[in-house]
Amino acid sequence: MNHKPGKYKVKDIKLAAEGDRLIDWAESRMPVMTALRKEYSRTKPLKGYRIAGCLHVTKETAVLVKTLVAAGAQVSWSGCNPLSTNDAVAASLANQGISIFAWHGMNVKEFYWCIEETLKFKPNLTLDDGADLIFTIHKNHPEFAEKYVIGGTEETTTGVHRLRAMAADGALKYPVIAVNDAETKWDFDNVYGTGQSTLDGILRATSVLLAGKNIVVAGYGHCGKGVGVRAQGLGANVIATEVKPTAALKATLDGMRVMKMDEAAKIGDIFITATGVKDIIVKRHFERMKDGAIVCNTGHYDCEINLVDLEKLTKSKRLIRDNNIEYTLKNGKRIYVLAEGRLVNLAAAEGHPSEVMDMSFANQFLSQVRLAVAHRKGQRLEDGVHDISAAQDQEIAGVKLKTMGYSIDKLTPEQRKYQDDYSAGT
Ligand code: 3DD
């Protein structure tokens, strides 16, 4: 896999050997990605294409990067969150000749510097998580959409929402495939991945008992549901807050209490925001919280917990554990904020388990191939947001099931005929 060394900036290249081992561990649990790499390293459909990636640098992302390179792509990579890069994994990729600019704990200025570094090789494909890369291209290099970029992919709910808004405004100047909206991503990564990894992040940063605790989940979408159901499994009393009636109703039927944040603030022990919206927990909520309340976020951006409000109420603060800052308020109470209000699952743990990222990244990989193959045939997709095909979803789920040793039934020709025969009533 070693090819001419790319330029890179990582925390410490000497961590490469540790990163190699972490990537091997992830790879051993990503059979769909290893099957895709085996198939496409022969045909190399991405040969001649330059992919700029902006996605959390984790052991699972490294498997995606290596698969893209095996399929012929040249890759330049940055992390999509200042706190989510695993420095050993970044070192391993750099040591294998990948052009990568990512380290844990960068500031916002450095974050955008890294993105700009990946744009120096004039990518024709982009691979994004949160749309910061795509937005930076449109803002700082608008000519790229015309001159170089043939298309992109977007990993997360918030990013797709942002891109659909751009497209509605006529501001999106190249085609982007909404990987997040694939069933084999949204219904698995967001639910089971976020569910487990968020609790993983909370436990690594606090090591508190979850059983018996009042856990307030703000936002009962795919992510919030995943967190709430898993927290129940560990014995927590889960409260959901929502603005969407159907989502709130689902929470009640899943056995959770539903109330306004103004009420939940008084009784919650642990607060987890998963809404994608800003100012979910603000000053009046902090004022009502119990002494010792733990607050964290698992939404993509760090806008959901208003830390400016919290600072106004604070007498002093200290780093009490890794990824855990104790704020002592003027009213004498203590509030613990995890991962600086950023994605707790990636900043305080390792993100979703490899088994679910296997399918998310199979969608990323196949979508990049789809864009390249269409381009090679002179069929550039139209500007805007495009969905994954239902066929791709079923193909990925089928491969996954097979690797898990499961086989399923198949409709007979008669059953297929019955399904489509509208005259066959009662
Ligand atoms: N995300 C969560 N865990 C991840 C991991 N282990 N590697 C890379 C990215 C990871 C974030 C994505 O799941 C993205 O789908 C999201 O934020 O929704």
Q: Which ligand 1 atom lies nearest to the CA of residue 185?
A: 15
Whether residue 420 lies inside any domain: the answer is: no
Specify the residue with its C-alpha closest to ligand 1, atom 18.
156
For residue 100, being part of any structural domain is answered with: yes
| Residue at 378 is within a domain | yes
Question: Considering only CA atoms, which of 260, 191, 259, 266 is closest in space to residue 228?
Answer: 191
Is 135 part of any domain? Answer: yes
Same domain membership, residue 316 and residue 394 = no
Ligand 1 atom with minimal separation from the 350 CA: 6
Residue to probe by mutation, ligand 1, list 56, 67, 198, most atoms within 8 Å of CB: 56
Q: What CATH number does residue 386 fall under?
A: 3.40.50.1480
Range of the domain at 329: 194-347
pLDDT for res 5: 53
* 165 lies in the same domain as 309: no
| Alpha helices for 141-244 (secondary structure H) | 143-147, 157-168, 183-186, 194-206, 222-233
- Distant-in-sequence, close-in-space partners of 376: CB < 8 Å, separation ≥ 6: 45
Total domains present in the chain: 2
| Strands lying side by side in the sheet with 74-78 | 8-9, 99-101, 74-78, 50-54, 125-128, 151-154, 175-178, 384-386
Nearest atom within ligand 1 for CA of residue 26? 6
Question: In a structure prediction context, what are the per-residue pLDDT tens digits for the chain, which is 426 residues long?
Answer: 444 556 999 999 999 999 999 999 999 999 999 999 999 999 999 999 999 999 999 999 999 999 999 999 999 999 999 999 999 999 999 999 999 999 999 999 999 999 999 999 999 999 999 999 999 999 999 999 999 999 999 999 999 999 999 999 999 999 999 999 999 999 999 999 999 999 999 999 999 999 999 999 999 999 999 999 999 999 999 999 999 999 999 999 999 999 999 999 999 999 999 999 999 999 999 999 999 999 999 999 999 999 999 999 999 999 999 999 999 999 999 999 999 999 999 999 999 999 999 999 999 999 999 999 999 999 989 999 999 999 999 999 999 999 999 999 999 999 999 988 888 788
CATH for 307:
3.40.50.720
Q: Are residues 15 and 37 in the same domain?
A: yes
Clarify whether residues 73 and 134 are in a common domain: yes
Q: In the prediction, which pLDDT does 424 show?
A: 79
Q: Which of 154, 161, 222, 352 to mutate to test the pocket of ligand 1 (most atoms within 8 A of CB)?
A: 352
The residue contributing the CA closest to ligand 1 atom 14 is 156
Asked if residue 316 and residue 376 are part of one domain, the reply reads no
Given 308, 328, 347, the domain boundary residue is 347
Q: Which residues line ligand 1 (CB under 6 A)?
A: 56, 58, 60-61, 129, 155-157, 189-190, 193, 197, 300, 346, 351-352, 357, 360
Burial 277-291 (b: 16+ CB within 10 A, else e): eeebbbeebbebbee
CA of 278 to the centre of ligand 1 (A): 20
> Is 3 exposed, middle or buried (CB count within 10 Å of its CB: 0-12, 13-18, 19+)?
exposed
Q: Can you give the pLDDT at residue 3?
A: 42
pLDDT on residue 83: 93
Residue 408 in any domain: the answer is: no
Residues 180 and 294 placed together within one structural domain of the fold:
no
Whether residues 222 and 360 fall in one domain: no
262 with 395, same domain: the answer is: no
Tell me the pLDDT tens digit for each residue of 360-390. Answer: 999 999 999 999 999 999 998 999 999 999 9
